[in-house]
Structure 1
Amino acid sequence: MLVIAVIDKIGTGLWAGASTLYFIYVAHLSVGQIGTLLGVSGVLGIAGPPLAGRLADRFPVTRVLVVAQLVRGAALAALLTTHEFLPLVLFSALGALPDRASSVLTKLFAARVAGPQRVRYQAIQRTAVNIGWAVGGAGAAAVLTVGTATAYETLLLANVGSYAVIAVLTLRCAEPAAPGRVVAEQGAPAARTGKGPTPWRDRRYLAFTTTEVWLFLDDSVLQVGFPLWIVHATDAPVGLVPLILVLNSVLVIVLQVPLSRYGETRAAARRLLLPIGVAFLAGGAALAASAGGGTWFATGAVLVAAVAFTLAEILHSLSSWELSVALAPGDAQGAYLGVHGLAQSAQRSLGPIVVGAAVSVGALAWPVLGATLVATCLIQHRLVRPAEATEATKAAPAAPDDDCGPVSKAEHTAGTADCA
């Protein structure tokens, strides 16, 4: 599955850097039409994670993932059949649904196959993904120097080909054990009743997912905020923009796996929320400072901010991954992780608006945004307290913090008896 992740992101990296240019120079869409296309795709894509999670609880996750990969390829290939606006919107939107779904399915596969080592597995996978992105981006940059319609179409077809390859490779992956999966056979009692835990009635999980939307803002800050801020508000050179993304990828590749040991349990993941908040606040302060001073000062401040936000991204990926799995009951893991996937999907739609507003407001907006992220970290820190600790607090407010008693390995892994 790690090989699949690398191939997937190489293909995605080839197309991601060329997609907007394809719509401009090949399909001849206006800026407004491109914005509408991306907006509609983003809205429809939000439905992908919960749908994928639900299906993965009823069918083998590898088979659902293969279908998602093939649909992604078919929808992308369909873009070559027309230059008309409405069909392009339709095909792009249809591709966004399985695209968002596949990320949840890959995460669910990792949770099932890696078990207690899921945090380290996910860290290795994120490292592999960033390597794939870097290779794909470099390949796209080389091809785009040609600048012809054929070059753009070649990148699109290369991405389609990558989906076909990973679909074949996924078929060769063994299906991980999923004791809680409902077998979708005619006459199966569980399939008929549909009873069991559901994330839609789990108030704590829904609240946790809601806070995640805000904590995933680092993605929009790095992808949208930094370029806009560098160009419109600082004296830093415009050439710094691509270097920020390179720095982000290098730091993730270097630090993701070593730092994974700090988020291997629910209690450890909860503790990470405090340094995550500090990193967000430091990044916001550095961005605000970059608006003053000359070229060198602005460049240094922007680089400090990039490091801070990247560190927050790395630590949050560890915390978010472990908590999203630990808080989910085993017999509804797919449905719960699908709902958690809504956080990233919602952020992709909301994030650029928030970050764009921050750039418009000016330097003061960044420390304020950082403060809201700190507050969100503190709220989530309280939300994910073990249930036993919450009940103990209600029953005996004066009880000492270390009176948790022994914790079995099974309980610790399930995240039901952590002493925080």
Structure 2
Amino acid sequence: MGARETIRIAVRNVVPPAGLTRALAVQAMVYAVGSGLFHAGSAVFFTRALGLSAAQVGLGLSIAAGVSLLGTVPLGGLTDRYGPQRVWIVGLVLDAALFATYPFVGGFAGFLAVVVALAAVESASGVAVQVYSINALAPEERVTAMAYQRSSLNVGFGLGAVISGLVLAVDTIEAYRGMVWFISMVFLVTAIFVRRLPRLPQVARPTEPMSRLAVLRDRPFMVVSLLSGLLTAHQTLYLTVMPLWILTHTDAPKTIIAGLVLLNTVLIVLLQVRASRGADTASGAARASRRGALLIALFCLVLPISGLTRGALTVVVLVAAATVLILAELIESAGAWGLTATLPPADQRGAYVGAFRLGSQVQYLIAPVGLTALGVTTGGWGWLPAAAIFVLVGLAIVPVVGWAGRTPRLGAAAPERTMTPVP
């Protein structure tokens, strides 16, 4: 293969094809500029601009996480009732309004009100974004389009982080206020992008719609949600547990942590689309999830080696472990998209996608504490049971997805029709 062909393939895996797939990727990148900017600068903003203590910030964000957990299913059901595009646009406008109020927050109570409201909005709009992509695209295009969106999100996150660096360098109250007002404007621009996306016909509602919480009774689907959600622990491992391990159990320089975050961003941008191939069916998505689980288990075996090495060899081991975990993230993410695109019924997709997100919410509650305790505080031997957990999840997810595929979904109507955008 020549250099020109290699470049052409690389570009094709990064730049989405013209049409709806590209439009969705562009809005994802625009949105991520604001989101990435805030994630990178939020801790300093909360403490410097709002005058909150670290304990107050942690408590407020924990309460918001609880609201997100409780609201994911009922608020996700709004998508089925009002349509994903409408819920998505309203969510972006509310995000913009809430961010615009941040500079006027006085004390912990005001901060708590804003972060809880933002968590509730995200519970609804996060489902709407995914449901719109599923409804608007043909089944064979959905996973690839979501992969392009994730690649674009990482480009936007990177740009946001660069802008955040400039704000942190200025380090004035006015700069921090300008930062959140700029983020507010980014979300309004994103809302305009979404408003211009093709309108979709409303999916026919069942004659007797089920309760918004009834999906929780769909046992095989909820088991799939739990297993897939546990695999999103790769995020906790990469951003929390691995840095703690590096700082406490290796002789690697602290700066390598930033280098590994950059490596994650670059590989996701370059490889996410390629890694998503074959995950556009339920069986293919299940196999991708299994591969992702086994790669996470392999990471749990490779990383502790860095505690036994010295110098340059430690850096080599850390880069190898990080690369394995990034591959796990790429493949597992594609598997999760495939499962949400194929298992939920078309007329209850919002409720089911919301329920699917519960699995990752559970992971966020237990993985930071559990994996830190196993991997870091044990001195290293805890990585063995951690690896065993992911092997078991990987072995279980394929038969469980098969069980869910054989079980009719609650409230399901007729088989899904291919959705055609309204001109």
TM-score range, shorter chain: 0.7 to 0.9
TM-score by length of 2: 0.85
Give the aligned partner of residue 218 of structure 2.
202
**Does the CA-based 8 Å contact 1:52-1:105 persist in structure 2?**
no
Give the aligned partner of residue 158 of structure 1.
182
C-alpha offsets along residues 363-388 of structure 1, whole Å, 9 cap, x if unaligned?
A: 12223212201111211111011678
Give the aligned partner of residue 382 of structure 2.
365
Closer, same or farther: CA 386–178 of 1 in aligned 2, 3 Å? farther
CA distance in 2, matches of 1:146, 1:195: 53
Match of 2:360 among 323, 330, 344: 344
Give the aligned partner of residue 40 of structure 1.
63
**Does the CA-based 8 Å contact 2:220-2:403 persist in structure 1?**
no
Query: 2:237 is aligned with what amino acid?
Result: V
CA shift, 1:124, in A, is 0.8
C-alpha offsets along residues 147-167 of structure 1, whole Å, 9 cap, x if unaligned?
A: 222222222111111111112
Give the aligned partner of residue 93 of structure 1.
116
Query: 2:58 is aligned with what amino acid?
Result: G
Give ranges in structure 2 of 5+ residues lacking alignment.
Answer: 1-23, 408-414, 419-423
Query: 1:17 is aligned with what amino acid?
Result: A
Q: Where in structure 1 do 4 or more consecutive aligned residues deviate above 6 Å?
A: 387-390
Alignment of 1:6-405 (within 5 A): 6-116=29-139, 117-181=141-205, 190=207, 193-195=208-210, 198-358=214-374, 359-385=376-402
CA shift, 1:181, in A, is 4.0
Give ranges in structure 1 of 5+ residues lacking alignment.
Answer: 183-189, 391-409, 414-420
Q: Secondary structure at the match of 2:203?
A: coil
CA distance in 2, matches of 1:159, 1:113: 27
CA shift, 1:259, in A, is 1.9
C-alpha offsets along residues 21-73 of structure 1, whole Å, 9 cap, x if unaligned?
A: 11222222222112111111111122343234311111121111111112222
CA shift, 1:127, in A, is 0.8
CA distance in 2, matches of 1:118, 1:380: 21
Q: Secondary structure at the match of 2:170?
A: coil
Give the aligned partner of residue 417 of structure 1.
none
**Does the CA-based 8 Å contact 2:231-2:293 persist in structure 1?**
no
**Does the CA-based 8 Å contact 1:65-1:105 persist in structure 2?**
yes
CA distance in 2, matches of 1:151, 1:325: 42
CA distance in 2, matches of 1:144, 1:389: 53
The number of residues matched between the two structures is 386
Identity among equivalent pairs (%): 27
CA distance in 2, matches of 1:258, 1:59: 34
CA shift, 1:237, in A, is 0.7
C-alpha offsets along residues 133-189 of structure 1, whole Å, 9 cap, x if unaligned?
A: 11111111122111222222222111111111112222222222453446xxxxxxx
Closer, same or farther: CA 101–196 of 1 in aligned 2, 3 Å? closer
Query: 1:3 is aligned with what amino acid?
Result: V
Query: 2:275 is aligned with what amino acid?
Result: L
**Does the CA-based 8 Å contact 2:76-2:351 persist in structure 1?**
yes
CA distance in 2, matches of 1:387, 1:2: 30
Give the aligned partner of residue 10 of structure 2.
none
Q: Secondary structure at the match of 2:81?
A: coil
Q: Secondary structure at the match of 1:385?
A: helix
Closer, same or farther: CA 383–227 of 1 in aligned 2, 3 Å? same
**Does the CA-based 8 Å contact 2:283-2:401 persist in structure 1?**
no
Q: Secondary structure at the match of 2:251?
A: coil
Provide the alpha-carbon RMSD of the alignment.
2.3
C-alpha offsets along residues 293-325 of structure 1, whole Å, 9 cap, x if unaligned?
A: 213222222111111111111111111111122
Closer, same or farther: CA 250–388 of 1 in aligned 2, 3 Å? closer
C-alpha offsets along residues 197-244 of structure 1, whole Å, 9 cap, x if unaligned?
A: 942221101111111221110111111112212112211110011111
**Does the CA-based 8 Å contact 2:294-2:394 persist in structure 1?**
no
CA distance in 2, matches of 1:100, 1:19: 20
CA distance in 2, matches of 1:31, 1:334: 35
**Does the CA-based 8 Å contact 1:224-1:355 persist in structure 2?**
no
CA shift, 1:256, in A, is 0.8
